[in-house]
Amino acid sequence: MATDPFRLAEEAAESLRSRFNGAQPDVAVVLGSGWGPAADVLGDPLAEFPVEELPGFLPSTVPGHGGTVRVARAARRDVLIFKGRVHLYEGHDPPVVVHGVRTAILAGCRIVLLTNAAGSINADLPVGTPVTLSDHINLTARSPLFGPPPPTPYGIRFVDLTEAYSLRLRAIAREVDAGVGEGVYAALHGPNYETPAEIRMLRLLGADLVGMSTALECIAARHLGAEVMGLSLVTNLAAGLGAATLDHAEVVEAGAAAGDRVGRLLRGVIDRA
């Protein structure tokens, strides 16, 4: 098995393509915490298997992350669905965190839809609201492009993130669901939730949402030339903004409650993109 993260993604992509059963997915969807129920709305399953059967993949240790990859057929295209992801806070390095996205792109996906559960810092984004990401603030102090330069034929590591999240896909999302919000996502390392003082800091920095994923996957996807949409589901108010104690079970429950809406939103974007 290769040790270079790009060569490892090539191996995983080759193994993944061998399981497509004639499908040709060009859209990849990463389902975050609480997003699992949305998978059944995205198309008719053609194949599904544990993600760790592919080279370089590790199972998630987080409740609400399914740990399988599904190939599905929607109305206009085939879709690759990762039911869960791994995170920095599980003890993984950035190349492990972005391995799924790199594998999907090298297997033929040109559009990547990254979903997550997020805490709201903005009073205009209440619990239950799906929010397209207009930008992110990467406060993890990590990058998937850190280290040796990418090997040939991959581009240089100095990737432009001026339009990290596609304007085109965000417009489609608003066409599908006029109630979709838009905001800036602050990505922190986790796994602890933020303090009220940290939330006040993030508000001053211009963040509307806070979470523990997505930013590194976006960077890796844009480096490989994929079009990216980030979609958060507000599952709780950030620390100090609500009366309730923050709890991961609340995140999963909020995702289940909004499962039908966010599933239809994702399916609408997939069908129109």
The confidence score (pLDDT) of residue 2 equals 72
Query: Identity (one letter) of the amino acid at 66?
Result: G
Residues 251 and 190: beta-carbon distance below 8 Å: no
Residues 212 and 117: beta-carbon distance below 8 Å: no
How is the chain split among helix, strand and coil, in percent rounded to 5?
35, 25, 45
Report the catalytic residues.
Answer: 33, 65, 87, 89-90, 117, 212-213, 236, 248
Spell out the per-residue pLDDT of the chain, length 273, in tens. Answer: 678 999 999 999 999 999 998 899 999 999 988 788 888 999 999 999 999 999 999 987 776 667 899 999 998 899 999 998 999 999 999 999 999 999 999 999 999 999 999 999 999 999 889 999 999 999 999 999 999 999 999 989 999 999 999 999 999 999 999 999 999 999 999 999 999 999 999 999 999 999 999 999 999 999 999 999 999 999 888 876 765 665 656 666 666 667 788 899 999 999 999
The confidence score (pLDDT) of residue 257 equals 67
Structure tokens at 38: 């949305």
Structure tokens at 261: 């809406």
DSSP per-residue string spanning 218-247? HHHHHHTT-EEEEEEEEEEEPTTSSSSPP-
Place of tokens 């994923």: 213
The confidence score (pLDDT) of residue 67 equals 87
Residues 97, 214, 25, 37, Cα dihedral to 10° = 100
Residues 169 and 269: beta-carbon distance below 8 Å: yes
Neighbours of 197 (CB within 10 A): 10
pTM above 0.85, yes or no: yes
The confidence score (pLDDT) of residue 243 equals 57
Taking each helix axis as running N to C, give the angle between helix 215-223 and helix 99-106, from 0 to 180 degrees, rounded to the nearest 10: 30
Q: Give the DSSP H/E element, type plus range, for residue 31.
A: strand 27-31
Cα–chain center distance at 11: 22
Domain ranges of the chain: 5-272
The confidence score (pLDDT) of residue 21 equals 85
Superfamily classification of domain 5-272: Nucleoside phosphorylase domain (3.40.50.1580)
